[in-house]
Amino acid sequence: MHQSSIFILHPSSFHLGLIGYPLGHSLSPRIHTAALQACRLQGDYSLFPIHPDDQQGLKDLLARVRSGEITGLNVTIPHKQNVIPLLDELTPTAQAIGAVNTIYLRDNKLIGHNTDAQGFITDLKRATNSAFCTPHSALVLGAGGSARAVVYALLNDGWNVTIAARRIEQAQQLALSFPNYQLQITNYSSFIFYAKHSSFILLVNATPIGMTPNIDQSPLPENITLSQHTIIYDLVYNPRETKLVKDARAQGLSAATGLGMLIEQAALAFEIWTGHNPPREIMLSSIS
């Protein structure tokens, strides 16, 4: 995957920010401000809410990156794909995933990268018992933007991946993005049957099921018993312990929410923009 060791001439003050819509509840300003302070750097992190129809707003903001006024941007829903035609280059990771979450200027070119995949796989290994978490079979629920990054990361790490999606055509599109790999696809409505009769050891929730305010929802029925070796990774991080994770832990399974991935993908972007490797625990404590 893309490494952040590329040479960038770093400014004395870092003007960072996030493009998305809406952005009212974003945790990114707190996380990145903590990183700037921990690394003793001057700078700020602003929110740039740009309406999905406001193409000119997107162009104007990217022009400020090109001019050097803004050092770097994160990108979230609904612009992770919209920005691609406005950039000069994509890193191989962003190209493969088909989505950008980090923008920076290099050699006067606007580059789009994606740190979600590396953020996910790094946190998966950190948060779960890595003795169990060796590449095997994984079942990914959902086929949207984050599922693309998760699937890319797992395939690169040597996992066999099955995608469970309620719209099969969405999963098929995802599979077409990775033509060199054999991806299995199952219908979301029958994934419980699949879960009971297959030997996957990692279940990743890449749907919003269980996210605030629907905190009583889980993709798994309460009465299902999974193998004691199953690892659960829920990309949802709000609430801090989702019902999926709570139920899994009650069964004695290794389980994590996506808070660590959120921190890791932010830290990787921060390192690209500033050249500094920020302390994850300080970034995490800024939102705890």
d(C-alpha 194, C-alpha 198), whole Å: 6
Helices (H), 138-201: 145-156, 168-176, 191-197
47: part of which helix (H) or strand (E)? strand 42-49
Q: Is 80 a catalytic residue?
A: yes
Closer of 105 and 259 to ligand NAP (Cβ): 259
Least distance in angstroms from the C-beta of 243 to ligand NAP = 13
Which residues inside 183-222 make contact with ligand NAP, applying CB under 6 A? 188, 206-209, 211
The count of C-alpha atoms lying within 13 angstroms of the C-alpha of 181, restricted to the half-sphere facing its C-beta, is 23
Of 81, 156, 170, 172, which lies in the binding site for ligand NAP, with binding defined by CB under 6 A?
Answer: 170
- Asked whether the beta carbons of 243 and 218 are under 8 A apart, the reply is yes
CA–CA gap between residue 154 and residue 20 (Å, rounded): 26
Q: How far is the CB of 245 from ligand NAP (least distance, A)?
A: 12
Residue number, nearest CB to ligand NAP: 144
If the CB atoms of residues 74 and 105 are measured against ligand NAP, the closer one turns out to be 74
Token pair 């994606």: residue? 114
Question: What does the alpha-carbon distance between residue 136 and residue 278 come to, in Å, rounded to a whole number?
Answer: 31
| Nearer CB in complex with ligand NAP: 64/249 | 249
Q: Which of 17, 98, 145, 278 binds ligand NAP (CB under 6 A)?
A: 145
Residues forming the active site:
80
Query: What are the residues binding ligand NAP (CB under 6 A)?
Result: 77, 116, 142-147, 165-167, 170, 188, 206-209, 211, 235-237, 258, 261-262, 265
